[in-house]
């Protein structure tokens, strides 16, 4: 595997390097266009605008920046610092360890498979809307905060809180959150399937249905969802569907239109508000028609972008290392 441009530095051939002088030492920035294998990059790595970089077994000892429209595909790798992807940038990381934070500034998406993130994930409100975090069988040890894209967690764990505020959608399937879950103002609502939320869970002012368990409107859930604390669902537009959930705390909610429906729930605390007289799911009416499978759509989009990125990196004509 190869990088496009090469420069011999300290006896190791790496990608094109830009030396930035520091008071005591030179910090290195590697520009990656093309392909590289099991080498160590002794500093930061940048994928330039609209270019593609594929890495296999690469260790990056600094931060990684994926510039606008660029693609990074990394497998069996290590990023010791932070990862930042800019507008329409894309990252596909498989069996990769990221030692710092991951920031998506209006990216096309961040696709994590069997990977770990030691820091936080953040998609800020001032970024372009629509990017996604799709984490599959991955571990995030910090907080997950999204104010502009979509959060899609499948068979993954988050050690701290998950907060989405004014984003596009928030879907969790077969996942565990050790902290609290807060979903507010999501344009396309939320799905929570077969998952465990150890802290308090709050859904508020979401602009489309919220589905917790069951088989409508966003997908089919095959197991129970567990809440270690309170569950509160307020001011939802389009309906609330609560099925096969175990809630150790209180269940409460007001201002949902239409009123929530559901069945087969176990609540160990108090039940109040619209949930005190929960009707069967068949009262969901026309809204029971399944919507799009956002997780499947995001996966297909990510795989397509990865394929294009790998072809572009191969075309770049990597140099011998």
Question: Has residue 122 got a pLDDT over 60?
Answer: yes
Q: With bands split at pLDDT 50, 70 and 90, how would you rate the model's confidence at 251?
A: very high
Q: With bands split at pLDDT 50, 70 and 90, how would you rate the model's confidence at 154?
A: very high
Rounded-to-integer distance, Cα 97 and Cα 28, Å = 21
Question: Has residue 19 got a pLDDT over 50?
Answer: no
Q: Are 265 and 241 in contact (CB under 8 A)?
A: no
Q: Are 32 and 46 in contact (CB under 8 A)?
A: yes
Comparing 33-47, 57-71, 260-274, 306-320, the range with the smallest average pLDDT is 306-320
> Which of 290, 174, 269, 271 is closest to 224 using CA atoms?
174
- Provide the pLDDT for residue 76: 98
Is the omega angle on the peptide bond into residue 217 within 30 degrees of 0, that is, cis?
yes
Task: For residue 302, give the H/E element and its range.
Answer: helix 294-315
Question: Has residue 34 got a pLDDT over 50?
Answer: yes
Residues in the chain: 321
- Provide the pLDDT for residue 129: 85
- Provide the pLDDT for residue 219: 84
pLDDT: which is higher, 27 or 17? 27
> Which of 129, 241, 260 is closest to 186 using CA atoms?
129
Rounded-to-integer distance, Cα 175 and Cα 272, Å = 27
- Provide the pLDDT for residue 83: 98
What's the chain's average pLDDT?
Answer: 88
pTM of the model: 0.88
- Provide the pLDDT for residue 13: 33
Average pLDDT over residues 99-119: 97
Average pLDDT over residues 214-231: 92
- Provide the pLDDT for residue 189: 94
Q: What 3-state DSSP class applies to 16?
A: strand
- Provide the pLDDT for residue 264: 94
Question: Has residue 285 got a pLDDT over 60?
Answer: no
Q: With bands split at pLDDT 50, 70 and 90, how would you rate the model's confidence at 217?
A: confident
- Provide the pLDDT for residue 306: 97
- Provide the pLDDT for residue 25: 39
Comparing 27-36, 38-47, 234-243, 247-256, the range with the smallest average pLDDT is 27-36
Question: Has residue 68 got a pLDDT over 80?
Answer: yes
Question: Has residue 1 got a pLDDT over 90?
Answer: no
DSSP structural state of residue 310 = H
All residues at 6 or more sequence positions from 233 whose CB lies less than 8 Å from its CB, including other chains: 202, 203, 204, 210, 240, 242, 252, 253, 256, 260, 275
Average pLDDT over residues 155-173: 97
């Amino acid at each position: 595997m190869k990088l496009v441009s090469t420069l011999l530095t300290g006896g190791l051939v790496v990608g094109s390097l830009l030396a930035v002088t520091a008071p005591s030492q030179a910090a290195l920035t590697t520009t990656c266009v093309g392909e590289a294998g099991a080498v160590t990059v002794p500093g930061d790595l940048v994928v330039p605008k609209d270019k593609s970089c594929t890495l296999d077994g690469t260790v990056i000892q600094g931060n990684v920046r994926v510039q606008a429209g660029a693609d990074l595909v990394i497998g069996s790798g290590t990023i010791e610092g932070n990862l930042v992807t800019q507008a329409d940038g894309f990252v596909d990381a498989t069996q990769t360890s990221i030692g710092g934070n991951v920031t998506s500034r209006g990216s096309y998406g961040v696709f994590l498979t069997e990977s770990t993130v030691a820091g936080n994930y953040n998609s800020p409100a001032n970024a372009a809307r629509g990017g996604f975090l799709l984490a599959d069988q991955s571990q995030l040890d910090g907080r997950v905060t999204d104010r502009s894209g979509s959060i899609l967690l499948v068979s993954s764990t988050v050690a701290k809180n998950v907060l989405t505020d004014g984003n596009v959608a928030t879907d969790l399937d077969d996942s565990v959150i050790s902290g609290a879950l807060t979903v507010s103002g999501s344009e396309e609502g939320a799905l929570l399937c077969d998952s465990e939320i150890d802290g308090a869970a709050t859904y508020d002012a979401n602009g489309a249905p919220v589905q917790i368990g069951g088989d409508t409107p966003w997908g089919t859930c095959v197991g129970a969802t567990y809440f270690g604390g309170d569950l509160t669902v307020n001011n939802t537009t389009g309906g609330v569907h609560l099925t096969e959930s175990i809630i150790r705390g209180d269940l409460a909610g007001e201002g949902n239109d239409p009123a929530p429906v559901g069945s087969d729930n176990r609540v160990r605390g108090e039940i109040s508000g619209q949930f005190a007289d929960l009707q069967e799911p068949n009262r969901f009416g026309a809204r029971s028609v399944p919507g799009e499978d956002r997780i499947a759509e995001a996966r297909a989009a990510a795989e397509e972008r990865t394929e294009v990125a790998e072809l572009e990196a191969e075309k770049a004509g990597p140099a011998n290392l």
